[in-house]
Amino acid sequence: MSPLLSVVSSLALWVGSALLVASVAIIRPRRLYGLWNDLRDRLWEIRKPLAALVVVLIASAIGRSSLQTVSELFGLQLTWAIYALEGNFVAWLQSTFGSPQLTMYFSSVYVYGYVFLLAFPFLAYLALPRTTTVKRLLVAYALNYAIGLVLYTVVFAYGPRNVMPDMVTSLLFTHNPEFMALTGEVNEPTNVFPSLHTSLSVTVGTFAVLTRREYPLWTPLAAWLAASVVIATMYLGIHWLTDVIGGTALALGAVSLSYRLVDEE
């Protein structure tokens, strides 16, 4: 239990500080002040999408292990098909660009950067005078998770590090085995298609582009972080290119659906 606790506390510390700095720099104190005064009303306004997200997350936490069993028994075993489709792309990526510095960068982006990337927009959009965007963001998150869970159940596949350890090093866990304690809590190793890291990052990135008028500083930062997380999933040997493409498609679908479901006020 101890390794998990230390990873979680370090995660909370780093992401917490990053959120603080980014809030001041990007959301600006004036809006933060407004958010603080109006927090209760705004949370009440977004109660429905927030509840939807919480329900999806709880269902995922509870149902994951039984859905995993269903996937083992009846899922499509597609590891070989994914490999046949893309071959050694991930191995090529690692062998061409691999370096200790990049490994450190992508490892921290994959864990710390990702959590920051998902948490910050919630704050930022909640601070906007109108709640449409934050509602859409929550709906898009929920859709990502819900559809992702269905696909995980249908597709049973292992990632490159598990299939070709001779060519793809499991960089994240080789250099930071303590992270495994954390990711093991939230992920099954067979849940690779689609990459949820990719889909949620791309979701945030897309929202950042769509809201560039409100937060012009956030757009390039989000795009950079999202791109880094997407590359990290492959560079670290966790996901196939196929998972990333699938994750991107899921993200774009989820964002457009969220725009349809939540109308402009």
Distance of CA 139 to the CA centre of its chain: 14
Contact positions vs other proteins (CB under 8 A): 2-3, 65, 72, 77, 79-80, 83-84, 157-158, 161-166, 169-170, 173-174, 177-178, 180-181, 183-184, 189-190
Judged by beta carbon, residue 155 or residue 208, the one nearer other proteins is 155
19/39 Cα distance (integer angstroms): 17
260/251 Cα distance (integer angstroms): 14
Kindly list the distances between the CA atom of residue 116 and the CA atoms of 8, 124, 224, 253, in Å, as whole numbers in the listed order: 13, 12, 13, 23
CB of 71 to other proteins, least distance (A): 10
CB of 187 to other proteins, least distance (A): 10
Cis peptide before 165 (omega within 30 of 0): no
Q: Are 91 and 164 in contact (CB under 8 A)?
A: yes
Judged by beta carbon, residue 190 or residue 228, the one nearer other proteins is 190
Contacts of 146 (CB under 8 A, 6+ apart): 56
CB of 229 to other proteins, least distance (A): 20
Q: Are 90 and 234 in contact (CB under 8 A)?
A: yes
CB of 172 to other proteins, least distance (A): 10
Judged by beta carbon, residue 60 or residue 183, the one nearer other proteins is 183
Judged by beta carbon, residue 104 or residue 217, the one nearer other proteins is 104
157/46 Cα distance (integer angstroms): 36
CB of 33 to other proteins, least distance (A): 44
DSSP character at residue 191: B
Judged by beta carbon, residue 31 or residue 239, the one nearer other proteins is 239
Main-chain dihedrals φ then ψ at residue 229, nearest 5 degrees? -60, -40
CB of 167 to other proteins, least distance (A): 8
Residue 242: its H or E element: helix 241-261
Judged by beta carbon, residue 24 or residue 186, the one nearer other proteins is 186
